[in-house]
A and B are shown apart, each in its own frame.
Chain A
Amino acid sequence: AQTVTQSQPEMSVQEAETVTLSCTYDTSESDYYLFWYKQPPSRQMILVIRQEAYKQQNATENRFSVNFQKAAKSFSLKISDSQLGDAAMYFCAYRSARGSGYALNFGKGTSLLVTP
């Protein structure tokens, strides 16, 4: 089974600054998908960004970008110009691209605090 590790239980960033959340994963597959989800206090899981493993180009969505290092099995999330509304739990997730293995495997999450 694939394992997703988020080594930072908590992170803090000042408003307007940049923060990077780390994620590593363990897999023997070559084709897969990676995701970052945000879970604010409302508990709603919101997709932030996704990356297809066969694409070398790092995904970006407005202020959110990833640093995907396939060989190192690393998938970090960079949040630029942090806003108070970015405060939430952030979960990294892995999904196989094969067979019926469509389950998302989540890390334990990183709690992001944004200070004014």
Chain B
Amino acid sequence: NAGVMQNPRHLVRRRGQEARLRCSPMKGHSHVYWYRQLPEEGLKFMVYLQKENIIDESGMPKERFSAEFPKEGPSILRIQQVVRGDSAAYFCASSENAAKNIQYFGAGTRLSVL
């Protein structure tokens, strides 16, 4: 049973470009969570999605950031017009359902903005 798959592992973008981060949850999991980890910091919650629905986006910056989890395919975290401050590791986690409180994490995508 494959774990949570994130790609790419590393992503380099120039200021003003768009970044797309992908997350395929564990098989049988329909709940996805995105977190951001800045250097020397713990992970910070960004958004929680179920298939085709955003449940909680209280941690998402108001501009340039969006997330989706379509009926088919991986969840996507999209950052438009990236700035240097967006450089971080972005982690995706999945769970079987909301009541199953264990979140399993992917290996993360490290975004570097030049």
A interface residues (Cβ-Cβ under 8 A, vs B): 4, 33, 37, 42-47, 50, 91, 93, 95, 97, 100-109
**B101 contacts the other chain (CB 8 A):** yes
Bound: A46/B91 CA distance, A: 12
The residue that A100 contacts in the complex, of B35, B56, B93, B101, with Cβ under 8 A, is: B56
Q: Is the CB of B55 within 8 A of A91?
A: no
Q: How many A-B residue pairs have CB under 8 A?
A: 63
By a CB distance below 8 angstroms, the chain A residues around B110 are 43
Q: Is the interface of B mostly helix, strand, loop or mixed?
A: strand
A107 & B107 in contact (Cβ 8 Å cutoff): no
CA–CA, A107 to B31, complex, Å? 23
Chain B residues lying within 8 Å of A100, measured Cβ to Cβ, are 48, 55-56, 98
Given contacts A44-B105, A47-B102, contact A91 B43 (CB under 8 A): yes
Of the A-B pairs whose beta carbons lie under 8 Å apart in the complex, a sample of 26, sorted by A's number, is A4-B42, A37-B105, A42-B107, A43-B107, A43-B110, A44-B106, A44-B107, A45-B43, A45-B91, A45-B93, A45-B108, A47-B104, A91-B43, A95-B101, A97-B101, A100-B98, A102-B95, A103-B48, A104-B33, A104-B93, A104-B103, A106-B42, A106-B43, A108-B41, A109-B41, A109-B42
Name A105's closest neighbour in chain B (CB-CB). Answer: B45
